[in-house]
Amino acid sequence: MRRPANANPRLTPDWLRRRYLRERAPVETIADDAGCDVSTVYRALTRFGIPHRGSHSSSRPTWGDILTSEFLQARVEAGWNMSEIARDAAAAAGGGGRCSSSTVMWWLAKRGLLSVDDPRADRAVAWYRDEDWTLQEIADQLHVTKRRVTIWLMARGVELYGPGAPLHEE
């Protein structure tokens, strides 16, 4: 016979908030401690209005946490290529994912550490700043991806406008 969801005396709002939110215990550990199934813990979290952390828990470092200016600068100065930096970042994450060369390039640009010698980058900057072209219009004109245009602009220190943001200060 199946027990009602609220029959587990350990799954109280206070206990769950302490274990899940403050102590950041994984749901699997909470289920083991409470002697129930993982799905029971998730149902209790929902019932008590406790937000789920999701698969990318904030207790895990993000690539932005790992690919700091210091981390990247040290490897760039040592002559490492993007693939080597990506492998080292993945190792620093403790096997918590794969880091691509594209991700490294993105963070190098974001941190102002990427040198772009491509003359198309100059045109991209001019069109974006002076002509108010969109990233997609620039990408289409230069036959590159929108991500490549974004990286060029970030590497040149251009502030990118988000959706709905005014293009210029008035």
Residue 161 confidence (pLDDT) above 80: no
Could you report the per-residue pLDDT of 6-59, keeping only the tens digit for each?
557 778 888 888 888 887 788 888 888 888 888 888 888 888 888 887 655 455
Question: In this predicted structure, what is the pLDDT of residue 167?
Answer: 46
Global pTM reads 0.53
Q: Average of pLDDT values for 137-144?
A: 94
Could you report the per-residue pLDDT of 121-137, keeping only the tens digit for each?
999 999 999 998 999 99
Q: Is residue 58 part of a domain?
A: no
Helix 82-92 and helix 101-110, axial crossing angle in degrees, nearest 10: 90
Considering the domain architecture, whether residues 106 and 71 belong to the same structural domain is answered as yes
Q: Is residue 144 part of a domain?
A: yes
- Domain hosting 126: range is 119-155
Residue 5 confidence (pLDDT) above 90: no
Considering the domain architecture, whether residues 74 and 105 belong to the same structural domain is answered as yes
Q: Is residue 74 part of a domain?
A: yes
Of 87 and 3, the structure prediction assigns the larger pLDDT to 87
Q: Is residue 53 part of a domain?
A: no
Q: Is residue 93 part of a domain?
A: yes
Could you report the per-residue pLDDT of 63-116, keeping only the tens digit for each?
888 899 999 999 999 999 989 999 999 888 876 678 888 889 889 988 888 888
Report the distance separating Cα 25 and Cα 11, nearest Å. Answer: 14
Q: Give the count of domains, the chain.
A: 3
Q: Is residue 37 part of a domain?
A: yes
Closest CA to 148 of 119, 121, 128, 111: 121
Q: Average of pLDDT values for 142-157?
A: 90
Q: Is the dihedral of CA 32, 43, 10, 52 positive or negative?
A: positive
Question: In this predicted structure, what is the pLDDT of residue 58?
Answer: 52
Q: Is residue 129 part of a domain?
A: yes
Question: In this predicted structure, what is the pLDDT of residue 120?
Answer: 93
Question: In this predicted structure, what is the pLDDT of residue 125?
Answer: 95
Query: How far is CA 91 from each of CA 86, 88, 98, 130, 140, rounded to the nearest angstrom?
Result: 9, 5, 9, 42, 36
Read off the pLDDT band of 165 (50, 70, 90): very low
Q: How many CB atoms lie within 10 A of CB 15?
A: 16
Q: Are 27 and 44 in contact (CB under 8 A)?
A: no
Considering the domain architecture, whether residues 69 and 43 belong to the same structural domain is answered as no
Q: Is residue 35 part of a domain?
A: yes
